[in-house]
Structure formats: C-alpha cells, structure tokens
C-alpha cells in the first residue's frame, strides 16, 4: 500500500471517529456549537443593543403597573369593591385570631401585665402535643428546643414565629388537602390548578411581599396572608400526588365491596396516602417558617426582625443567635412532623399493652399540663421566662469577636478569592449574557431550550422571553440570569461530587445526610450571615449564599439517582474490568442523568429564590429593583415589573430543565430496556 493511500485511510478513520462522537452525543455537541457561535458574535458586538436602562428610569410599562397598584390599593381602602372587602375581611379575621393567640402566649393583654399563659404552660402544652402526635422520643427534642429559645434570649420572638407558622399551616392544610383530593380525582381541576401552583412555587418568596403590602398594608395581617399563600402549594401538590399513587388494585377491591366514593376516600385512600400527605404538611411548615422570617420586612412578628436588624447594623452576632433559633425551630418542626407519619405504625407494633400505657401517660400528661398552665397564669416566675442562664449574650459577643478576627486576618485571602472569581469567571459570563445584543442572547437561549427540552421547552421559553422584553428590564434580567446560572453551576458540581460519594458509600451517606437535612431546614436569610462576615456585601456573597441554600436538595437528588442504578448493570461493568472512575463516568452518571437534570432544576429554583435577598447585599439586577420598589413608593411599578420578570425567568428555567429531565429519563428507560 502506498504512503498516500495509508494517509487517506487514516484521514477517513479519523473522520469516522468524529462522526461517531457527534452521533453518540448530538445534543451535547449542538449545545457546544451554540455557545461557541454566541461567543464569536459577542466578541464583535459586545455592548451593542443591550437594552440597559439606569436604576432611576421608569418606562411606560412601569408607570402603568404603578397606576394599577395605586388603583388596587384604592379599591382595598374603600368599601365599594366586593372582592376587596371580602379579602380584607378575611385578613382582618385572621389578624384578630392571631392577636388573640399572641395575648394568650406572648403579648400582655391590657390591663394584665403578662400573657395569659407563660413559659411553663407553653412548654407543657408543646410536650403534651408532641407526645400525642409523635411519641416520647420527640419530646426529648422539643422541650430542650423551647428552653434554648429562652436561654438564647428570644423566647417571645421564637414563640411568635411558631404561632404565625403553625397558624398559617393549619389554614393551608384546611384549604390545601381538600383541594389536593379534588385534583387527584379530577383531571379538569388538576389542569386548572397545576399552572397556578407552578407560578406560586416558581415565584421567589420575597416577591410576594410587594403586592401583599400594597393590598393589606404593613403589619401582622399582611404577614399572615403572604405566609399562607406562599406555604399552601406544597401541601396541595403532594397530597394530590399521594392519592394518585394509591394502588389501583386496592381501589378495585374496595369498589367490589360496594363502597361509595366518600367511604373509599375516608377509609382507604386517605389512610394509605397519609404518610405522603404528612410529607406535604412538613414541606408546608418549612415554607411557612421561611416566609414568616422574610415577612419581617412588612412588620411581621417573630425572629425575622432581629435577623434583619442585625444584618442592617452589621451586628452579625445578633443575626447569628436569632438565626440559630430559627434553625432550632425548623429542625424541631421537621423532626416532629416526620415522626408523626410513623406513629400509627409504631402504635400497631406496640400492641394493646403499649396503647394502654400511652393512654395512661396522656392522661397524666394532660393533668400535669393543666397544672402548669394554671401556675403560668397566676405566678410571675412561671410566666416570664427567667433571665438566667443567659446563653445569648456570650454567644452573640463571641460571634462578633470571631467576625472581627476573620475580617482582620482573612480579609486579604477572602478578597483575593472574591476578586479572582469575579474577574476571571463571573464578569466574562455576565458580559456574554448581558452585554450581547438582546436579540443574540434571545436566539441563543431559544436554541439552548430546544436542544435541551425540545419543542415544548422552546414554546415556553419564547413566551417568557417575550414577556421579559415587554417589561423593559431585559438587561437586569440577564444580569440576574447570569448570577443564577453561575450559582447553579457551582451547586451542580458540588452536588455531583457529594451525591456520587453518598450514592456509592453508605458510610458517606450517613455522615453527610444529617448536614443536608439541617441545610434544608435553614431559612434563606441565615446562610447570608457567615458569608457576609467573610466577603462583605457584593455579588459574590449573594452567589455563595445561594449555593449554600441550594446544595442540600440537589445533592440528595443526585445521590438517589446514583443509588438507583441497578446492581446488575454495575456488576456487568465490573466484569469488563472497568475502573472506579470509568464506572462512575461511563455507567452511573449516564444512567442517572434524569436525576442530574432534576437536581439542576431544583438547584435553579432554590438559587432563584435567593435572588431578591442577594439584591440586598449588592447583587444588583432584578433583586435590587424589587428592594427599591419595596422601599420607595415611586418605584413600586418597576418593582412589580421586576417581580414578574423573575417569575418568567423561573418558569423558563424550570420548563427547560423539567422537559430536559423528561427527555433524559426516556433515553434512560430505553437504555435499560
């Protein structure tokens, strides 16, 4: 064979390998082509047609939204509008009930100098209720948690937070569980309600504050309403899911016995879906607790006030101690609701003797609780929480001293990390997304949407981008999108590393999962505290706080996906001599790519929920617009436009990743088959 022919064969083989690589991962190569083309166009057109406007500019759309908010506020302040009058009446009724609860537990009703029930009665009631719904082991968590609230110096604020959380959750469950039942049994209702729930869950928590403060003013009524609306979607969606997953065989068996629809629901469906419904209640409690903290911006009572006041004044010790109380409350409520889902099964295992013993303990506990409530009503020592031991003051001072030490000794190191990250990564990515001509960025996003999620993702993305353009905040939306994508990329990297380790090792899972559980219960303000100490207020701080908030849920999803790869597939790969690295990259990660995309989806939404909070610490973008609209009445219209824009961004990102996960899941199923 001649040298020329040998070269031709080599060239053909190389071309065949390239074609094979492209055919093996066509979407990946298509994405790479879009990004490369985008970078080439950006390098020539940077800074042209970006639709950037100044922070003080208000366009016609913003003024129209301003006029609309003014007209709605006027309608709610008058008695002529029936809907406004009904909503105001409902809010006033809830405010009255909550005020009564405060007089009962935390606020002295005039002329009495102390609340009706003091700390001793409150702790006794909490212990009795916990034993009744979750068992004695949880009493050992709940009672010390209440004592810590007092010893840390935030008894009243902590109880107020629990009151507004549990009060909102109770109403959310009364409304949400029946609606979830209705969705599970009616495709029409499900088709109508699901998009509404999507919008409610996509909207970042802080965005709710602006319209509710317009409608109901500043105070407990608005805080209760916003907490209720934000917390209701999880219990609706998860209750419907639990009822849909009840075995059809069981339902057919009950139908053969002649049971009616109501009997089947009460005696079969709800008991079988009970554990899933309680998971929904748990998620509703976590959402209500997070919003009850954020609602401090509209004068909502509770622990949010000292957290925000400490952040505003740079007193991070105050914010840390109050934030610690929030974490304690979150862990306590999370563990109690989780244990309550298992109590019925534990009672069945305990048998008749266990049930008799439990009734005796409940009866004795009820008597003891009544005595404690009476003492806390008539005795000052049992009403006002004792001032000693004071754990809050030394802890607060220690955190402030430690923060000063970090700023003094690590400022050069942390500044170097922040500056290098911002200069070499964040700024170039933001320039590509926000400084490209708006139509170039729009086309690139549409192409990415169709490659990842298909035609349905393309349609949703086109609608959302059109809405963002019409709201006249395109540039700020792209700045926010950059921060969200960068934070999500970091979240996914961390989640893959930790998730693979957890999925492959039970020991690693047991060691890491408690930290993830605790991380999932942390309300969004709390991660800001240590990051602000280290890096100060800037975009980098907002991104790191969002990463801390989003990593737990993404990591759990990746770990579950890795763990879900069949042992037979792993054994087959090992039999071929695959190394550990090859097993992870060639088998487990490809087989779990549906879980990876779902983890990306949830990481995106969690990061997006931190956008406005990031706007308070120098992140700019849409978060800054919302905060400014909230604080300055003349910018309410622009703030509302920014809130709607964030919702559109959230829906767009959610649809791209959700439909992408569905496509990857279908590929995964075909591969397994």
Domain assignment present for residue 416? The answer is: yes
d(CA 52, CA 68): 24
Cα 392 to Cα 48: distance, rounded to the nearest angstrom: 54
Residue 566 placed within a domain: yes
Model confidence at 5, in pLDDT bands (50, 70, 90)?
Answer: low
> What is the 3-state composition of the chain as percent helix, strand, coil, each rounded to the nearest 5?
85, 0, 15
What does the pLDDT read at residue 418?
87
| Alpha-carbon torsion (534, 540, 542, 547), positive or negative | negative
Full domain range(s) for residue 407: 391-673
Residue 55: the pLDDT is 84
> Which range scores top for mean pLDDT: 26-40, 211-225, 553-567?
26-40
N-term to C-term CA, the chain: 45
Q: Is 100 helix (H, G, I), strand (E, B) or coil?
A: helix
* pLDDT score of 110: 82
CATH no. for residue 414? 1.10.3720.10
> What secondary structure, in 3-state letters, does 6-25 show?
HHHHHHHHHHHHHHHHHHHC
| Residue 200, in any domain of the structure | no
> Distance between CA atoms of 228 and 204, rounded to whole angstroms?
15
665 in a structural domain: yes
From the CA atom positions of the chain, what is the Rg in Å? 28
Mean pLDDT confidence for 275-288: 82
526 is a domain residue: yes
The C-alpha angle 39, 648, 423, rounded to 5 degrees, equals 35
- CB neighbours of 40 closer than 8 A, spacing ≥ 6? none
Q: Is the dihedral of CA 412, 413, 417, 420 positive or negative?
A: positive
Asked if residue 284 belongs to a domain, the reply is: no
List pLDDT tens digits, range 460-508: 999 999 999 999 999 999 999 998 999 999 999 999 999 999 988 888 8
With bands split at pLDDT 50, 70 and 90, how would you rate the model's confidence at 669? very low
Domain count within the chain: 1
The yes-or-no verdict on residue 666 having pLDDT over 60 is: no
The secondary structure of residue 2, as a DSSP letter, is -
What global pTM score does this model have?
Answer: 0.79
pLDDT in tens, 377-421: 998 899 999 988 889 999 999 988 888 888 888 878 888 888 888
What is the maximum alpha-carbon separation in the chain?
108
Q: Tell me if 99 is assigned to some domain.
A: no
């Amino acid at each position: 064979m001649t040298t020329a022919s040998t070269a031709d064969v080599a060239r053909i083989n190389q071309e065949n390998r390239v074609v094979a690589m492209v055919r093996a991962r066509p979407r990946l190569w298509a994405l790479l082509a879009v990004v490369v083309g985008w970078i080439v166009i950006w390098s020539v057109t940077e800074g042209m047609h970006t639709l950037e406007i100044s922070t003080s500019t208000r366009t016609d759309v913003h003024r129209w939204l301003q006029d609309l908010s003014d007209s709605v506020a006027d309608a709610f302040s008058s008695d002529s509008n029936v809907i406004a009058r009904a909503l105001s009446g409902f809010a006033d009724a809830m405010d009255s009930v909550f005020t009564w609860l405060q007089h009962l537990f935390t606020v002295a009703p005039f002329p009495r100098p102390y609340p009706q029930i003091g700390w001793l009665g409150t702790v006794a009631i909490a212990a009795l209720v916990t034993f009744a719904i979750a068992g004695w082991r949880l009493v050992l968590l709940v009672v010390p948690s209440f004592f810590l609230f007092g010893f840390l110096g935030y008894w009243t604020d902590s109880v107020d937070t629990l009151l507004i959380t549990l009060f909102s959750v109770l109403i959310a469950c009364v409304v949400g569980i029946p609606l979830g039942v209705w969705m599970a049994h009616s495709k029409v209702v499900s088709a109508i309600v699901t998009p509404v729930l999507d919008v409610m869950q996509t909207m970042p928590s802080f965005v709710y504050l602006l319209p509710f403060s317009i409608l109901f003013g500043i105070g407990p009524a608005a805080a209760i309403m916003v907490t209720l609306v934000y917390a209701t979607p999880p219990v609706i969606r998860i209750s419907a899911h639990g009822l849909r997953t009840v075995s059809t065989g069981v339902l057919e068996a009950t139908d053969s016995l002649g049971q009616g629809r109501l009997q089947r629901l009460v005696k079969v469906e709800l008991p079988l879906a009970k554990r899933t419904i309680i998971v929904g209640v748990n998620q509703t409690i976590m959402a209500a607790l997070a919003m009850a903290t954020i609602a401090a911006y509209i004068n909502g009572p509770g622990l949010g006030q000292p957290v925000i006041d400490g952040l505003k004044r740079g007193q991070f010790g105050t914010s840390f101690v109050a934030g610690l109380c929030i974490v304690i409350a979150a862990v306590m409520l999370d563990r109690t609701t989780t244990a309550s889902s298992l109590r019925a099964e534990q009672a069945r295992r305990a048998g008749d003797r266990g049930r008799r013993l439990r009734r005796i303990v409940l009866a004795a506990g009820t008597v003891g609780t009544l005595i404690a409530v009476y003492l806390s009503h008539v005795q000052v020592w049992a009403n006002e929480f004792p001032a000693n031991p004071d754990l809050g003051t030394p802890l607060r001072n220690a955190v402030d001293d430690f923060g000063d030490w970090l700023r003094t000794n690590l400022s050069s190191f942390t500044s170097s990390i922040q500056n290098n990250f911002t200069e070499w990564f964040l700024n170039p990515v933001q320039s590509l997304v926000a400084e490209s001509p708006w139509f170039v960025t729009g086309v690139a996003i549409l192409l990415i949407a169709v490659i990842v999620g298909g035609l349905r993702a393309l349609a949703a993305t086109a609608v959302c981008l059109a809405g963002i353009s019409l709201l006249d905040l395109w540039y700020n939306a792209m700045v926010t999108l950059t921060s969200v994508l960068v934070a999500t990329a970091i979240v996914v990297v961390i989640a893959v590393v930790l998730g693979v380790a957890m999925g492959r090792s039970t020991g690693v899972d047991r060691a890491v999962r408690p930290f993830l559980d605790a991380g999932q219960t942390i309300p969004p303000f709390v991660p800001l505290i240590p990051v602000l100490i280290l890096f100060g207020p800037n975009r980098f701080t907002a991104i790191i706080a969002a990463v801390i908030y989003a990593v737990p849920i993404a990591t759990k999803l990746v770990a579950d996906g890795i763990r879900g790869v069949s042992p037979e597939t792993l054994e087959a790969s090992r039999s071929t001599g695959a190394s550990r690295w090859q097993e992870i990259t060639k088998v487990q990660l490809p087989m779990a790519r549906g879980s990876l995309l779902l983890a990306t989806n949830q990481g995106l939404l969690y990061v997006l929920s931190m956008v406005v909070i990031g706007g308070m610490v120098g992140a700019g973008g849409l978060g800054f617009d919302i905060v400014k609209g909230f604080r300055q009445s003349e910018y309410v219209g622009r703030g509302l436009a920014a809130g709607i824009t964030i919702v559109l961004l959230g829906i767009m990102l959610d649809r791209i990743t959700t439909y992408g996960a569905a496509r990857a899941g279908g590929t995964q199923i075909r591969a397994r088959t």
